Structure 1
Amino acid sequence: MYTKEEILNGQVLLIDKPLTWSSFQAVNKLKYVLKNRLDLPKKFKIGHAGTLDPLATGLLIVCTGKFTKRIPELMGQAKEYTGTIHIGSTTPSYDLETQINAVFPTEHITESLIHETVKQFIGEIDQKPPVFSAIKKDGKRLYEHARAGEEVEIEARKTTVHEFEITRIALPEIDFRVTCSKGTYIRSLAHDFGLSLQSGAHLTALRRTKIGDYSVENAVTPEAFDKLIPRNEK
């Protein structure tokens, strides 16, 4: 339970973002609840420390008040994800946002090949962001170019994968756990992993489990957060 003074002074709120919700929607839900329950100023400070795609679930850190100054620091911390990669087909978005556009052989893929291939992605790697991403190019988001059918050249970026663990193999599905630096696209990791297996792949599930020392185990859904705020406090 939070009070008006606590929210205005600054809080770090841990939210478990539901599937299909945008990060913006989750923050807006909290903003609406806090403003109306606690009689907060219309423009009180609130923001999240790192976007999660609508098709991903898990930890979203939301800061209020003076703690919004910590957002850049929090965004820079290492992140942990779990998820599922589907081997043998690709999509333009590298996940389930778009339909399958190509299929590839998988008969040659063995458990030993999978575990050996993982090693290529640990450490500092070059990675191209997905064409369906919010990065700006020529004044437009990449996904805007993609949806308009425009081809753009995307430059590779340096990123670091600290851990890449395979937790289940049931082809065509592979479950994983990854810890990585800021700016790592797990969709691109899944896509590149498929290429390295001499096949194709796309992401079918993704959950952010940690940001720095913060864990989704201590987070609540937006609906559960609603119940933590006392009504009509003046």
Structure 2
Amino acid sequence: MLPASDAPPFSLADGALFLVDKPQGWTSFDVVNKVRYRIRKKLGVKKFKVGHAGTLDPMATGLLNICVGKWTKRLGELEGLDKSYTGTIQLGASTPSYDAETDPDAEYPTAHIDLAALRTAAAELTGPIQQVPPMYSALKVDGQPLYKRARRGETIEVKPRPVTVHHFDLENFTGTSVDFSIGCSKGTYIRSLAHDLGRAVGSGGYLTALRRTEVGPYHIDTAWQLEELLAAIDPEA
């Protein structure tokens, strides 16, 4: 497994892996572009390879694995690793994007829901399952990302895909929201699990918070804050 770079000096051209705590509101590509710009300025070059292994939605925070230099050729080693998340699901409503990035499009009752019912539903969503990705996703169908079709108001049939949910644990149920921790395989959409959980208990559900805590052996506790990493790459910038 690739060793993470946790202290300068970094072997930027030869290759390095940076674990970054992605800020909320940033896209994964925003982080990549920021790191690339700082490295280019440090090395005095016009082009430099930087890539990430596993997209996080703008609303989400947490562990983003970034390879630079020659190690971008090894991104595939990281993309297939299992991942772990924590977050919060709002019950009683649904949104087109399955998270808080879009406004609710329907409301549902919640008085009949208790933690036992939620945990039973979560158990049914655990193990090898067939999952339908959300329409608001970067998954391409016929060469176009689904989110672009969704923004045009198009609705198309999205085929379910096999994923594995290793565990789906719930706690801190308030009556209208519940916190969770999830371990899952590559390609699992946590937004879809939130949506499916709400539907399984006769209500709606969507994500209001999501944080990636682990990718394979890599943990958020050892990740760089973005501004600290940028300063470590080039303290004089």
Residue 25 of structure 1 pairs with residue 33 of structure 2: no
Residue 115 of structure 1 pairs with residue 126 of structure 2: no
- Residue type of the alignment partner of 1:44: F
RMSD in angstroms over aligned alpha carbons? 1.4
Residue 152 (structure 1) shift: 0.8
What's the TM-score once normalised by structure 2's chain length?
A: 0.93
Q: Which consecutive aligned stretches of 4+ in structure 1 deviate over 6 angstroms post-superposition?
A: none
Task: Provide structure 2 residue ranges, at least 5 long, that are not aligned to the other structure.
Answer: 1-6
Contact 1:84 1:205 in 2 (8 A): yes
Residue 78 of structure 1 pairs with residue 82 of structure 2: yes
Measure, in 2, the Cα distance between the counterparts of 1:81 and 1:225: 23
CA distances 1:169-204 after superposition (whole Å, capped 9, x unpaired): 112110000000000000000000001111111110
1:47-196 matches, within 5 Å, as 47-196=51-200
Contact 1:37 1:231 in 2 (8 A): no
CA distances 1:202-228 after superposition (whole Å, capped 9, x unpaired): 110000111000011111121111221
Residue 100 (structure 1) shift: 0.5
- Paired residue secondary structure (1:154): coil
Residue 9 of structure 1 pairs with residue 14 of structure 2: yes
Measure, in 1, the Cα distance between the counterparts of 2:28 and 2:61: 10
Q: How many residues align?
A: 231
Distance 1:232 1:109, change over 3 A: closer
CA distances 1:43-62 after superposition (whole Å, capped 9, x unpaired): 22211011111010000000
Deviates more, 1:73-82 or 1:59-68: 59-68
Measure, in 1, the Cα distance between the counterparts of 2:92 and 2:234: 50
CA distances 1:45-82 after superposition (whole Å, capped 9, x unpaired): 21101111101000000001221122111010000000
- Paired residue secondary structure (1:190): helix
What's the TM-score once normalised by structure 1's chain length?
A: 0.95
- Paired residue secondary structure (1:228): helix
Measure, in 2, the Cα distance between the counterparts of 1:226 and 1:119: 42
